[in-house]
Amino acid sequence: MTTLTLLAAACGGDSNPTPIVICEGPDCEDAGDQTDTEEPDAGDETDTGAPGLLCTDTCGSAGDGECDDGGPNSLYDVCALGTDCSDCGPRDPDATCTPDCTGRSCGDDGCGGTCGPGCAADESCTVAGQCIDDTCVAECGSRTCGADPVCGLSCGTCEDDESCSAAGSCECAPQCDGRVCGDDGCGGTCGSGCTGSESCNDAGQCELDMRSWSGATANLRLILGDALGATAGRKVCIYGTDDDRPYLVLNKLGLSSGQVVTVNADYVDAPAGVSLRVSHHFTLGLGDDTPVDCDASQATPLGSGALAANDFYSVVVRTYDEFLNYPCAANSSVDFCEFYTRANTSLPEVPCATQQPVLMKDGSRLNGSGYSGGVRIANFTTNASAISSSFSDSSSSPRGNLSGGSNVGINYEVPAESNRLRICPQYLTCDPRIDDVDYLLANLACTNDGDSDWMLAEATNSRFSAPDKNTTVYVFGNAGLLNQAQTGIQSNDVFLVVAHDVSDGPLP
């Protein structure tokens, strides 16, 4: 049992505060109201028998036959709620109804009470809350509700789910509060309804419909390089070019920095043979597979052509906070230097990597039939148009950034010579502060020694050298920049996604 003691001054009586008790809990019915103060006189307090209600007779006019606490059914508002229990009954302190007697001197206050001061014995109260002489005779005729046209007196009332028409008949009252579509409860509809590409849900809100597809299908999955962390996610919506309803909705959680994540060959059916568009939208946590929040106005082309039936594809979405990145610069005099982190302010500032989705074709077919094994490195860093990858101590290969929206894959290379992969900062060749010798030493420190001052990321996986598997290593995140002392890379935050392409096991 829980008791809460409030203090209220008695209206018109003793100025000393008198305790008002709210009792909550299963023992209240038997225990009655309790206080830590001296028991009041027997006539001053009423046991309501119900927890949580206010009920005392401390109002100065309590017991005079008129309810004076301002609550429902009260005639006056001169005492605190629940202090005129003999006249008003127990009060619920959590009740939300507020009586409205503006311009009314009698009749209903909107909360089940009446407005004061009320009418004299020889008067009647009109529907508008005004007192008129009893000599006025109402002429309701066929009216069953509302005010009669002569005196304004009531011709009757309607049920709670009905409303009174202008003609004075009770009719079904539409229930459309907060609804923009759907049944109004009276055989009609709420609002203006939904568009042809939408349907109305149970809450009376319009939702975008999914679009069906009965033709040939390809295999599609989502690779997400969202660096906002695992509490964030992306909803990716796939549309045709002639309709804003999505064929398909894909979802994934974001990634945390420094991770090496494995993605299995989990594909879903997607329309083949038609041009497609794609949009992606932030979600807090893992989103759902409904079209809610899909926005075709943000869609861009998915790849440079239609998906081929039965082939395998990945739609790659890279997202990052542009305000948290250093700006990028370009060095047109050096290959693969379309953009990199702008440490030298003498170079022109250019946009970093686009966040437009990229379509990757998965799997390398041999002679147009079966698949041949191999591995490929996909540069999706936010700020490096060139990185390099190394599977041995003696060599490395440059990897250009896939920042366009129409790229359809890069070729697989033969199985790697080892299971160890290192990612290195090829973009150092773009920085005018670094000469060829300095770059060679930095690259050797990364590829040969795995020096953390120069290496961006590292992963080991047996699939890299497997002759019967296709694997893509996606490089996401911030590739950093050369530090001021030119002794290593700073601010790099790269993470890798190792994707099993086509099959988790041997290729078909």
Residue 472 has φ and ψ, to the nearest 5°, of: -120, 130
Please check whether residues 243 and 104 belong to one and the same domain: no
Across 151-155, 301-305, 427-431, least confident range: 301-305
Domain hosting 453: range is: 217-501
Give the strands of the sheet with 470-478, arranged side by side: 260-263, 493-501, 470-478, 374-381
In the listed set 78, 96, 113, which residue is the last one of a domain according to the structure? Answer: 113
> What is the predicted pLDDT for the residue at 2?
43
User: pLDDT tens-digit profile of 269-294?
Assistant: 999 999 999 999 999 888 888 898 89
Mean pLDDT of the chain: 85
> What is the predicted pLDDT for the residue at 326?
79
Does 47 reside within a domain? yes
| C-alpha span between 101 and 99 (Å, rounded) | 7
> What is the predicted pLDDT for the residue at 408?
59
Across 305-314, 336-345, 413-422, 493-502, least confident range: 336-345
| Residue of higher predicted confidence among 310 and 161 | 310
Does 60 reside within a domain? yes
Does 175 reside within a domain? no
Percentage, residues of the chain above pLDDT 70: 87
| Residue of higher predicted confidence among 1 and 272 | 272
> What is the predicted pLDDT for the residue at 22?
46
Does 169 reside within a domain? no
pLDDT category of residue 324 using cuts at 50, 70 and 90: low
Does 508 reside within a domain? no
In the listed set 91, 113, 135, which residue is the last one of a domain according to the structure? Answer: 113
Q: How many domains does the structure of the chain reveal?
A: 2
> Quick one: average pLDDT of 85-111?
85
> What is the predicted pLDDT for the residue at 131?
95
Strands (E), 94-205: 123-125, 131-133, 162-164, 170-172, 198-200
Q: What is the 3-state secondary structure (H, E, C) of 431-457?
A: CCCCCHHHHHHHHHHHHCCCCCCCCCE
In the listed set 96, 113, 130, which residue is the last one of a domain according to the structure? Answer: 113
pLDDT greater than 80 at residue 410:
no
> What is the predicted pLDDT for the residue at 407?
54
